[in-house]
Amino acid sequence: MIYRALLIKYAEIGIKGQNRYVFEDALCDKVRERLKAVADGFTCVREQGRIFVSCPEEYDFDEAIAAIRTIFGVWAICPAAVIEDASWDNLTQKVGDFIEAVYPERKFSFKVEARRADKKYPIQSPEICSNMGGYLLERFPELTVDVHDPDVKVQVEIRTNAYVFTQTIPGPGGMPVGANGRAMLLLSGGIDSPVAGYMIAKRGVAIDATYFHAPPYTSEQAKQKVVDLAKLISVYTGPIRLHVVNFTDVQLAIIDKCPRDELTIIMRRYMMRIAEHFAKECKSLGLVTGESIGQVASQTMQSLAATNAVCSLPVYRPLIAFDKQDIVDIALRINTYETSIEPYEDCCTIFVAKHPVTKPIIGVIERSEKKLEGTIEALVEEAIRTVEVINIG
């Protein structure tokens, strides 16, 4: 394998002041952990605003890159060849060998960029660039130089070893998970909420999740689907404590006592109340949902206001202004879509009214909920008491 090093660049951590080193170390640990699953023999060190990965002789390159591309905070990955003896003749020879191996058809314009982290190196960066350019032109006469808009940037970095690379593979961006606290995701089996979890985690927020099921009206497969989705997003978000709440009795009480057209809104308000309980238990700083304005009756601005009204923690809605197709595109990219469209029932949809309110008035909803007083408290308590917590990832 020609690429015996991976230079990993990260971006926004730079602004985090004091905590910077903590996050850089966390990122380095994450790279180490992910690559361990690919092969033995990778070593990772943090150095001057980069992570340097030294790679074993044999490994699956695509798998290694894919693994690193799941790590939020990674801005770019540059696969590089390592040149242990950076003396000039050897350096030029090895950079030439690299170009020869990576580009069998050498019909491109190029420019050399040099970075001399080892200031003791006898040749300064501008000279490295021009002399290396001259060497490459001589060895490969079919190449041309274009310093303004080259097809290929031949980048040479001189540290203890020298590195040569030409490729910059974009990472997922964002910030390292955990850098910005923790939140509780309301995770259903749908398309939207797994994407919402992915997106909040991309901003450095660690997540736990709460799923409401209603056995026997919802099946074991529906629950398994949510477990599967949590596993899929945990590749990006890291470990998730998935709280599976039996919501049947609360739901039946609402159906029994409240107007049918308000059912969804009242149910959503109880979901938020219960999720908030677990959020506080998990030291979460907010709730996260997959809602987007106007997508369905329960997501009009009036409905969102009615759902919000019962929460004391902030509710984050990463998809609030997204069109469905945009959400589907992300779901496809992060590999949750196929699982999300499995046809198992959701507890929200089984008792849904034909004509749900689309402009609920909070006072009216509160009055309807009054009819639950005396019954609902014990049912909510029981739902909380009997929660099943599944550790994912």
Shortest reach from residue 259's CB to ligand ATP, in Å? 18
Shortest reach from residue 359's CB to Mg ion, in Å? 21
290 binds ligand ATP per the rule CB under 6 A:
yes
Please, which residue, 51 or 186, has the CB nearer to ligand ATP?
Answer: 186
Q: How far apart are CA 294 and CA 302, in angstroms?
A: 10
**Whose CB is nearest to ligand ATP?**
190
Q: How far apart are CA 368 and CA 390, in angstroms?
A: 34
SS3 98: helix
190 binds Mg ion per the rule CB under 5 A:
yes
What are the CA-CA distances from residue 185 to residues 55, 208, 255, 367 (Å)? 36, 6, 25, 28
In the chain, the DSSP E strands lie at 5-10, 43-47, 50-54, 74-83, 109-116, 144-145, 152-158, 162-165, 169-170, 182-186, 206-213, 240-246, 287-288, 315-316, 388-392
- What residue 296 binds from Mg ion, ligand ATP, none (CB within 5 to 8 A, per partner kind)? ligand ATP
Please, which residue, 135 or 211, has the CB nearer to Mg ion?
Answer: 211
CB 342 within 8 A of CB 225: yes
188 binds Mg ion per the rule CB under 5 A:
yes
- What residue 289 binds from ligand ATP, Mg ion, none (CB within 5 to 8 A, per partner kind)? ligand ATP
Q: Phi and psi at residue 336, in whole multiples of 5°?
A: -100, -15
Q: Per-residue x/- marks for ligand ATP, 16-55, CB under 6 A?
A: ----------------------------------------
194 binds Mg ion per the rule CB under 5 A:
no
- What residue 307 binds from ligand ATP, Mg ion, none (CB within 5 to 8 A, per partner kind)? none
What are the CA-CA distances from residue 289 to residues 92, 124, 202, 299, 359 (Å)? 55, 54, 15, 11, 20
Contact residues toward ligand ATP (CB under 6 A) are: 186-188, 190-193, 210-212, 271, 289-291, 295-296, 298-299, 346-348
Contact residues toward Mg ion (CB under 5 A) are: 188, 190
